[in-house]
Structure 1
Amino acid sequence: MHTPESEARRRDAADPGHRHLFHVPPADGGRYPDAAYLAGNSLGLQPRATRDELVADLDAWRRLGVEGHLEAERAWLPYHELLTAPAARLVGALPTEAVVMNSLTVNLHLLMVSFYRPAGERTKIVIEDSAFPSDSYAVRSQARFHGLDPDATVVRLKPRPGSDTLGTQEVLDYLDREGHTVALLLLGGVNYLTGELMDIPAITAAGRAAGAVVGWDLAHAAGNVPLALHEWGVDFAAWCSYKYLNSGPGALGGVFVHERHHGDPSLPRFEGWWSTEAATRFEMTAVSRPPATVEAWQISNPPIFAMGPVRTSLELFDAVGMPALRERSRRLTGWLEELLDEVTPGRPLTVVTPRDPDRRGCQLSVRVGTGSAGELTKRLRHEHGVIADAREPDIVRFAPVPLYSTYHDCWRVAEALAATVSQEGS
């Protein structure tokens, strides 16, 4: 390493972030007590406030029983409303356009019930070739559900030859050629594998101009990059809360539906107990009266103990603000990139994430030219106390999360890679 450890310490003193608000796992190896945790793109760290807040909700159940629905300090009946405004602010939505519910793939299916409506020659579902497998499975099953051949219906856009990432122009060119056949365009806002940030407003505008419905999987975008879903005219979106939103494994996800679709009687939609308007819910009528908001897409009553960690996390994002986090993300990720540039020459390592800060979030994906990505991450953890994420066969993902990652974490990553990969090549 050319860069001394003291430079990392100096940067942390000048730009400290909010690490003190989180529990950081102990190191499993190396010479530092805490892990250098760069796997927040897979599972975010636990905020220190989460346990006490969750225990308070549990205590209300102990003290009040069923009366907690109305008498708890955070009453359970309208509990989900505590998450609405901060979730909307996080993704750039109106309060009537965002709701926290279910998990990501469940939400994508519920949304596709409404928004994937193949007819005539307009039947195609367009995704990126490197989409997360769950999205691939979901859209293929939707095609089958409509009696269509998924191999013919699902279009997987590939990067141009020689590139690791799917550029915006490739998407626009496809829409220009084949947009008349596209019923649904469903891409990842930030690609899980490469860390590429797609040009969401440009692609949304082109997709809608072509007559397609445009949805976004924001699993790796929510809490990572600024979003303006309402302004950009996105039809629908879904995200999870266990990565950058630090709400715990399998945490509840979120849904956005643009207000132009609210109250549209032509949209098919599954309904349940929570789909009807709140004011008349306990009239116990046989026919639902859905509100003209995104809450019409809810089905079940909210799981309170699953909602608590999401609420705690969203309050933290409100307090810090996405603009400040995005700026720190650029600084942290940019510095990690500089450090990796010192390490990669002469070693079988290639950064595949775009170098343009406007085309990425806080993840840098590194292709390992020799050996297994999984074996490398094991060595990084057990020998150096660096926790990263492997995607076999050859990608290791490093996410310097601006809320809690440090410049010293980035320095440790580069130092560990230099030591580990050089040993593999010896």
Structure 2
Amino acid sequence: METMTLAYARTLDEQDGLAAYKEEFYLLPHAIYMDGNSLGLLSKRAERTLHALLDSWKTLGIDGWTEGGHPWFYLSEQVGAKMAPLVGGKPEETVATGSTTTNLHQLVSTFYKPAGKKTKILADELNFPSDIYALQSQLRLKGYDPDVHLIRVKSPDGRMLREEDIIAAMTEEVALVVLPAVLYRSGQILDMEKLMKAAHERSIPIGFDLCHSVGSVEHALHEWGTDFAFWCTYKHLNGGPGSVGGLFIHEKHFGTLPGLAGWFGSKKESQFDMEHTMDPAEHAGAFQIGTPHVLSLAPLLGSLTLFEEVGMPAIRQKSLQLTSYMLELIRHELAPYEFTIGNPTDNSRGGHVLLEHAEAARICKALKKDGVIPDFRAPNGIRLAPVALYNSFEDVWHTVQKLKVIMEEKQYEQFENKRGVVA
């Protein structure tokens, strides 16, 4: 079949309007990087803006807060405005601050208001553990037993969730709904608009974790009326390890006091009045807790210019093309080797492919030895993320071919079927 050949993959690359953006990134030497849904690669633009912010510290000292090309005092709002188009929010609805989990704590502290029989938080059993830990913690702080008051909607197959099951669980006892936009393991995209409408029909506030969707999947949070959202920036947004998170607050909630108040949530013009009564900002900036992490925000200034140039529709289109091609190759080349495709095969998948195999940990180690960087997820998951901005169709072809040889020659047998400290 022509589509199975390297020549065909190279033809797809020749037709790719985003192919040139691969040159914007520092690609790993002698390796194919398929782990951008865990940590995105460094772009040359992100490197430049990091150096620029370092230089402002070196040359301006404390005056860097209000002077220079990117005054630090306004940096969280500036970066937040750059992220707004990626989530379908207004600039004033979006701010770069904190981390995924601290932002979740902030938002739950703000929107979880148990009263009467409405005391429960609705989540799901497939969510990333950190979100569940935070929700359990918030329940305990309110004096509730998480085993009773945290509802985790069951998955019918351990991979996917059904929106109908989630909606059925939105009972009169539910005070808050927190769900992932894209499931971190299977890559399933939940129908956020449908879930949001169902929650609001029942007068339940709802928010979404966008960690595995931002920069990979299109959103319309403002248009949908979503109450809040939160995300990290070191995966598809390529902000660097531990880069500052983001949060969205719909403008209908402007004026709501943040559950966790901090000095940098103040109005800029009154922050240095040093009053003990907080005068919160009249936008998403009110939900900041601490001082901006300037050097962790800096790479995002450069990285986000790539998204401004390309636009999410083009990124999403190429992402779907890359994963579709990968799935086609997998079905054809790996059929004899007992792999299961664990992600949706229609367009309701995010930016990665999930392969399940009993020897997954060993296979991932064999892939790394052969120059492909995958991501292992216990107990049996291999995540492969061809990223639109820096992966090619040829990368996809070589990845599947290397995987085929590993299976044919049983190269994985030289490794222990056990994950590393960081999977």
User: What TM-score does the superposition give when structure 2 sets the normalisation length?
Assistant: 0.93
Greater Cα offset, 73-82 or 232-241: 73-82
Instruction: Tell me how far apart the structure 1 counterparts of residues 109 and 102 of structure 2 sit (CA, whole Å).
Output: 11
Q: For residue 252 of structure 1, give the secondary structure of its aligned residue in structure 2.
A: coil
Q: Deviations over 1:245-285 (max 9, x none)?
A: 00001110001111111113xx5522222111111122222
Q: Deviations over 1:57-76 (max 9, x none)?
A: 11121112112222222222
AA matched with 2:165: E
> Do 2:364 and 2:375's aligned partners in 1 also have CA atoms closer than 8 Å?
yes
Instruction: Tell me how far apart the structure 2 counterparts of residues 163 and 57 of structure 1 sit (CA, whole Å).
Output: 45
Instruction: Tell me how far apart the structure 2 counterparts of residues 254 and 64 of structure 1 sit (CA, whole Å).
Output: 27
Q: For residue 180 of structure 1, give the secondary structure of its aligned residue in structure 2.
A: coil
Are residues 1:375 and 2:362 paired? yes
Are residues 1:86 and 2:82 paired? yes
Listed as ranges, the matches of 1:94-113 within 5 Å are 94-113=90-109
Unpaired segments ≥5 residues, structure 1: 28-34
Identity over aligned pairs, percent: 38
Give 2:391's aligned residue.
Answer: 405
AA matched with 1:349: F
RMSD, aligned α-carbons: 1.6
Give 1:30's aligned residue.
Answer: none
Listed as ranges, the matches of 1:104-183 within 5 Å are 104-160=100-156, 162=157, 164-175=159-170, 179-183=171-175
Are residues 1:23 and 2:26 paired? yes
Task: Select 1:194's aligned residue among 186, 191, 210.
Answer: 186
Greater Cα offset, 102-111 or 303-312: 303-312
Instruction: Tell me how far apart the structure 2 counterparts of residues 260 and 50 of structure 1 sit (CA, whole Å).
Output: 33
Q: For residue 230 of structure 2, give the secondary structure of its aligned residue in structure 1.
A: strand
Instruction: Tell me how far apart the structure 2 counterparts of residues 110 and 80 of structure 1 sit (CA, whole Å).
Output: 16
Give 1:389's aligned residue.
Answer: 375
Q: Deviations over 1:151-193 (max 9, x none)?
A: 1111111222x46311222222333xxx211111111100001
Give 2:10's aligned residue.
Answer: 9
Q: For residue 187 of structure 1, give the secondary structure of its aligned residue in structure 2.
A: strand
Give 2:419's aligned residue.
Answer: none
Give 1:301's aligned residue.
Answer: 291
Give 2:242's aligned residue.
Answer: 250
Instruction: Tell me how far apart the structure 2 counterparts of residues 319 and 199 of structure 1 sit (CA, whole Å).
Output: 27
Greater Cα offset, 73-82 or 233-242: 73-82
Are residues 1:224 and 2:213 paired? no
Once the 2 structures are TM-superposed, how far is the Cα of residue 298 of structure 1 from its aligned partner? 1.1
Are residues 1:419 and 2:405 paired? yes
Once the 2 structures are TM-superposed, how far is the Cα of residue 355 of structure 1 from its aligned partner? 0.8
Once the 2 structures are TM-superposed, how far is the Cα of residue 403 of structure 1 from its aligned partner? 1.0
Q: For residue 85 of structure 1, give the secondary structure of its aligned residue in structure 2.
A: helix
Instruction: Tell me how far apart the structure 2 counterparts of residues 133 and 123 of structure 1 sit (CA, whole Å).
Output: 21
> Do 1:180 and 1:211's aligned partners in 2 also have CA atoms closer than 8 Å?
no
Greater Cα offset, 387-396 or 69-78: 69-78
Q: Deviations over 1:69-106 (max 9, x none)?
A: 22222222222232132111111111221100011100
Q: Deviations over 1:197-224 (max 9, x none)?
A: 1001001111121221101010001101
> Do 1:344 and 1:350's aligned partners in 2 also have CA atoms closer than 8 Å?
no
Greater Cα offset, 107-116 or 302-311: 302-311
Instruction: Tell me how far apart the structure 2 counterparts of residues 344 and 212 of structure 1 sit (CA, whole Å).
Output: 45
> Do 2:374 and 2:383's aligned partners in 1 also have CA atoms closer than 8 Å?
yes
> Do 2:35 and 2:373's aligned partners in 1 also have CA atoms closer than 8 Å?
yes
Q: For residue 397 of structure 1, give the secondary structure of its aligned residue in structure 2.
A: strand
Once the 2 structures are TM-superposed, how far is the Cα of residue 45 of structure 1 from its aligned partner? 0.6
Instruction: Tell me how far apart the structure 1 counterparts of residues 233 and 22 of structure 2 sit (CA, whole Å).
Output: 19
Instruction: Tell me how far apart the structure 1 counterparts of residues 386 and 162 of structure 2 sit (CA, whole Å).
Output: 23
Give 1:60's aligned residue.
Answer: 56
Unpaired segments ≥5 residues, structure 2: 414-423
Give 1:281's aligned residue.
Answer: 271
Instruction: Tell me how far apart the structure 2 counterparts of residues 386 and 253 of structure 1 sit (CA, whole Å).
Output: 28
Task: Select 2:354's aligned residue among 331, 345, 365.
Answer: 365
> Do 2:82 and 2:304's aligned partners in 1 also have CA atoms closer than 8 Å?
yes
Task: Select 2:333's aligned residue among 343, 349, 353.
Answer: 343
User: What TM-score does the superposition give when structure 1 sets the normalisation length?
Assistant: 0.92
Task: Select 2:33's aligned residue among 33, 37, 46.
Answer: 37
Instruction: Tell me how far apart the structure 2 counterparts of residues 71 and 141 of structure 1 sit (CA, whole Å).
Output: 40
> Do 2:77 and 2:94's aligned partners in 1 also have CA atoms closer than 8 Å?
no
Q: Deviations over 1:318-337 (max 9, x none)?
A: 11100111111111111111
Give 2:416's aligned residue.
Answer: none
